[in-house]
Every structure is written in structure tokens, then in C-alpha cells.
Structure 1
């Protein structure tokens, strides 16, 4: 599959502060990659390098097989970007700004624009200076989604939006995905990334700490198991891979390492299972594993 974004050993320093250290990942054609990490982890710095806003110190950063710094103009003709805090011209209306962005890009769809304005419930006649943060985000999203690009980069795009508008955004991303577009999505809303992303890249303190599909990352953390048996269940407490075991008569709740799951369930079947629920780890569980490491 063709690589739309390719980053290899990317490094960036701000004075004595190392913002990015040997960052490597890619986004393939037709793929949604979720890019997550705590505040200050390096997400926005990476995106600014990709957009040609700041220059890397070392490594490779390419979009469409073009150098992001040397060929940024050509790259931006096929790219749409929405930051986490959209800045607008105060004395222009929302509709005028959307039209201007579409004209600058050159591949706008007026019908799509009108449909998105209705779906996002934006009043395009109001001047930008009257807009709330959420409405400013809507202007940026509508402008980006109204043009036909090969790559969409979203950096906290739903910041300030209510849950209904977040749903509209997610629906639109799924349409882009179905159309074979490539998307790099940085978001603090982990359920959003979990729903949309084909692969997830986790960055912490300027370094990539995990990357892969959600199923691959789930194997690195624990599932929650709730089980009730006819026979005494306490034997499960001593098994390898069992953690935080809590028992109430013949029912227990505990977490289990993925690699020991088969062994635990084999033993559990000998106890005559009455009820069993296994909840796989969420993306939040995977993320918090690294976030807690940073806090410790």
C-alpha cells in the first residue's frame, strides 16, 4: 500500500529542549491513523513539521514522496488541515471565510459546503468575531471537508464541539475513509480515535512508545473478566496473569494479561461457569498505561 506520509527518525530541538526524538511512523493510502499522547508529548510539533511550518533538525519527513519543507506548496494543493484552535478574520462572516478557504484550495464543492453548514448547524451570516470556539472549529471543519483532498490532517479538530457535532465529524471522517482518503487524526477523545482509526501511534515525551492496530495494542494490556462459577472460584486468584482479584462468594472480578487468557479460561471451565463476561481493553486503557508511566 502506498505511503502518503512517511516519517523516519524525525528529530526536533527547541534550544536545549528535545521536542522530538527519532520519531518514525507512516500513513498509508486510504488509512486513518490516530496520533495520541499527553499534552506536550510532541503531537503538534510533528504536525507542524509535516505542514512545513517548522523545519526538522534531523530525519525524513515526506508527504506524497515530497520533502515537507522544500516542497510544501505542492503538498498543500492536495492536503486539508484543521488545527485545534481555528483563527479567523473577525470582520468576515463564517460563510465568506469558508468560501475563501475553498477558493484558495481550488477544489471546493458548493453542494457539500451547504450540506455541511446545515449538518454542523452553523449560521454562515454571522461575523467571525461573534463566534464561540466551537463555531470557529465548525468553520475550519466545513472548509476542510468541502474540498477534495488526498490527505486530511486533523489536530484536535473537535475541540469545543458538543457531542452531537462530534458525531457529525466522525460520520464525515468515515465517509472520507470509505472514499479511500488518508487521514492523520490527533485527538484527546480516545473513543473517537478508537472508532475511526485503522492504526494508532502513541507518542510520549517526544518518542513513539507504541504503534499498531488496536487489536495489536490490546495484547499489551489486560482484559477485565467478570465470572461466576458453581465451584469455589478462589483457585483463579493464584493463576499467572491474574491481577486485582476481587471475590464475592462464587463470583469474581479481575484483570488478566492477554497471554494468559487461554490458561485462565481453561481452569475456569473446570469450575463449571455460570456467567462469564470478558471486556477487552479500550484505547484509553492502552493510553493510560503510558500516561501513568509518565506521571510516576
Structure 2
């Protein structure tokens, strides 16, 4: 469908070498986008590019840290020089440190904020310059249910993702007049390599997630592809500053009835 087509579009996906970032990149590529993948790890990047190319997708890689403003500027300039323009930016790169707040070193707290929030600001600001000049662009920030809820041992991550929700709304407010849409995706609990150790029968957290999710299952990474395509395409041209939660209904309910 033409409304959802990304043919000829250039999409930057930060941290798009595995997991949810890769799943969203695959969706964008299937809709026709050319992929510009960033990573801090050369080997992971090379493996990811080989994977994308095995499907016949156009994919290119750039190694840098999104929190390094100078390196980010150099690489965004290089992307534009090599590919003409950036139509879509998916701010997916992020980290989490699971430590109770009372025990978390301040330097670790700052590191999470730097990657998950400041890095998004740096990349968005750099890419938006070209979008403003063309009066066209899509920015998708990967938020979290922790943009809305708290939980034990993720204070830094929740603070960053809560801030990212508001950064999304503020950038949308400032850049809407240039026909730039800035929205977010808030994933729920997904079946990835990171969650594999706890997704086993009998694990208390596995049982908690299944029972807490109205859909009764963990999300599959591919479940994010459609939302990413929608927010990157013309189908979402009048949607701005919104966070779409892809969580199987967790945020819609206080939990399953006791008699079920």
C-alpha cells in the first residue's frame, strides 16, 4: 500500500544490530527503506549488515557512540554525503543497569541518562537540521513502559525513559511546523536473547509477565515492525508527540481478575 511505502527512504537505526532494533529495521527494510545502522561494536555491526543483506536489503554501517557529539556529527555528515539525506531516524540505542537506587553509583546513573536520553537529543538535533531544510522527516524514539511506571532496580532507566517521553513531546512541538513528526514506541516485555534466561516455565518473573499481560504472552520482536512502519510512513503524517505502547495491553489494566 502506497500510504505505508518507504521506497526510496533512508532510515537511520541507532543500535540496530540485534533484538528490537533489528526487528524494527527489518520492518522498515521490508517496506522499502535503505538502512543506515549504527553501533559501538564493529563485529556486531558487521554481522548485522550481513544478516540484512542476506534478505537482499540495502544496509550500511557506521561505528560511533551516540553520546559523543563530535563523533555523531561526523558520522551524520558522512551519512548525508554518502546517501543524500536522512528521512527517518529511529533512536533505539540504549542501556540499562539493574541496581537498586540506594546502591547505584552516581556515575552509573549518569551513564544510563547519557545513553538513553542525551544520546537521543544529540542524534535528533543533528538529523533534524536536514529535515527542517527539506520540511519533511520522521523521528521515532524508543521509549518504554518505564516511561509511565516505576519498578524495583531500574531507577536510572525509568528516569531516562520518562525524560524521553517528554523530550519526544517537546521536539514534536518545536518541529511540527517543519512537517517533522516526532513520536515514540513504548515496548512491553519481549522475547529476546536478553530475556531468554528468565522466559522458562516456573521462573517467577516469567509467570508474572504472562499473568500481568492481557495477551497472556511475551511479545515477539516482529510485533514492533508494524508500528515502526506506521510511524515512519505517510500514514502517520498528522500524528505528533505521541507514544504508542506495544505491550499486549499491560498499561490498559491493573491485572487479570482473580477468578481467571
Q: TM-score range by the shorter chain?
A: 0.3 to 0.5
Calculate the TM-score normalised by the size of structure 1: 0.31
Q: Which has the larger radius of gyration?
A: 1
Q: Which has the higher strand share?
A: 1
Q: Which has the higher helix share?
A: 2
Calculate the TM-score normalised by the size of structure 2: 0.34
